Amino acid sequence: MATLYILWYGLFHKAKTIAVLANKASQAAEILLRIKNAYTELPMWLQQGLVKWNNGEISMENKTKIFCGASSSSSVRGKSIDLLLVDEFAFIDDNLATNFMQSVFPTQAAKKDAMMILISTPKGMNHFYAIWQKARAGKNSFIPCKIQWYEVEGRDQAWLDKQIRDNGQQFVEQEYCCLCGDEKVTVQDDYGKIRTITLEELYNYEHEFSNL
């Protein structure tokens, strides 16, 4: 969906700068390749003339540019970004993510219509989790959207069972079931009592005692 949206935005908006970033530069290049493949499938009358077409950038005659890179602060620092996509945002180290966001927000703050898309599978309760929870509560400008495994065409219960056999239950729950803070787990506390609590309650409990 992000691929198609970026392509549409680039074709029908003049003089825009679009950045496609990921935890690894090769991963960002793969997303750019998907955009290029989608472009080549369009009829000629929908395509823009091309000024640059390489592994790292697409520049079109409408003066819109799409480039890719690793999700580091240097990738966007000093650039004026109209649309930013960051893939697997949860897998960026917490400190790097903080520096990255501090570099990104100034590039978009001056533009009223600037947009940012953060995509990721969960990875614990880190910076991505905090943004997600605030979005769900309406406390930031992000719009939360979760896509579950069964919403992808061709994936049924037999497919899920195979993934569990091959990769394990924990891998499947994180990568495909998108477990988040309101999901409940059964734990045994320090006194031997078994309780059912949310992941967020478990996180807050562990975080409280780790700071003592």
User: Which are the contacts of 52, defined by CB distance < 8 A and separation ≥ 6?
Assistant: 58, 59, 65
88: annotated active-site residue: yes
User: How far is the C-alpha of 55 from the C-alpha of 206, rounded, in Å?
Assistant: 45
Residue 182, classed as helix, strand or coil, is coil
Six token digits for residue 90:
């949860």
Is 58 within 8 Å of 66 (Cβ atoms)?
yes
Beta-carbon count within 10 A of 39 CB: 20
Residue 166, classed as helix, strand or coil, is helix
**Size (the chain), residues:** 212
Catalytic one of 30, 41, 88, 173: 88
Residues serving a catalytic function are 88
